[in-house]
């Protein structure tokens, strides 16, 4: 892995695809073990950033499950805009269901707060939050996160579904913004 350039910024190698695969697998098996074979959860991936994580996650899920995606964008460039858009794409009836939200990354928690607000109105049986990446030093909310893949420092990352102004989503490894 080498230093890469996306638009005007340089990024350095941060988490290899092998390490990501290990953590995703660990998360999948933990959630499968906790929910058990008799539960058929609905996994809801938060687009766009979660698509690669969700694809790998469900591939390793050993029991029956449903899968859908919703969109709730909040990020532009390398700074949180603070503005949360509305949710697009949920058509399923979630009442009485076990819903597992799959997030790519939780930063300030603004998106998570919006997710809680939206799903609390849907009378689900159980709402479970899982995120692949988590930035504990920026997280400002008193909201529960059930499963965390990797806690990382507060620096912008790209790759494995995450972008910088539209670029970098296709990278199999994760890169971190390089300050120089």
Query: Where do contacts with ligand 5GP occur on this chain (CB under 6 A)?
Result: 49, 74-75, 80, 103-112, 156-158, 162-164
Write down the least CB distance from residue 83 to ligand 5GP, Å: 10
Closest CB to ligand 5GP among residues 35, 127: 127
Query: Are the beta carbons of 134 and 151 closer than 8 angstroms?
Result: yes
Q: Could you identify the residue written with the tokens 């969700």?
A: 54
Write down the least CB distance from residue 95 to ligand 5GP, Å: 26
Closest CB to ligand 5GP among residues 94, 175: 175
Write down the least CB distance from residue 30 to ligand 5GP, Å: 21
Encode 20-46: b = buried (16+ Cβ within 10 Å), e = exposed: beebbeebbeebbeebeeebebbbbbb
Query: Would you give the distance in Å from CA 148 to the centre of its chain?
Result: 9
What positions carry a catalytic annotation?
107
Write down the least CB distance from residue 43 to ligand 5GP, Å: 16
Rounded CA-CA distance 28/171 in Å is 21
Closest CB to ligand 5GP among residues 56, 103: 103
- Write the CA distances from 101 to 17, 25, 41, 54, 95, integer angstroms: 22, 16, 10, 10, 15
Which among 138, 142, 171, 130 has a CA at the least distance from the CA of 23? 130
Query: Are the beta carbons of 126 and 98 closer than 8 angstroms?
Result: yes
Closest CB to ligand 5GP among residues 68, 108: 108
């Amino acid at each position: 892995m080498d230093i890469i350039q996306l638009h005007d910024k340089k990024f350095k190698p941060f988490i290899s695809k092998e390490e990501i695969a290990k953590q995703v697998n660990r998360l999948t098996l933990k959630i499968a073990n906790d929910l058990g074979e008799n539960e058929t959860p609905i996994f809801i991936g938060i687009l766009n950033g979660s698509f690669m994580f969700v694809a790998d996650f469900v591939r390793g899920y050993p029991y029956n499950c449903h899968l859908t995606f919703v969109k709730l964008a909040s990020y532009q460039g390398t700074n949180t805009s603070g503005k949360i858009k509305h949710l697009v794409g949920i058509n399923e009836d979630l009442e009485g269901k076990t819903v597992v939200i799959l997030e790519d990354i939780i930063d300030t928690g603004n998106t998570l707060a919006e997710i809680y607000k939206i799903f609390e109105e849907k009378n689900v049986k159980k709402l479970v939050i899982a995120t692949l990446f988590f930035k504990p030093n920026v997280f400002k909310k008193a909201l529960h996160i059930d499963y965390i893949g990797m806690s990382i420092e507060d620096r912008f990352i790209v790759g494995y579904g995450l972008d910088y102004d539209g670029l970098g989503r296709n990278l199999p490894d994760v890169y971190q913004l390089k300050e120089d």
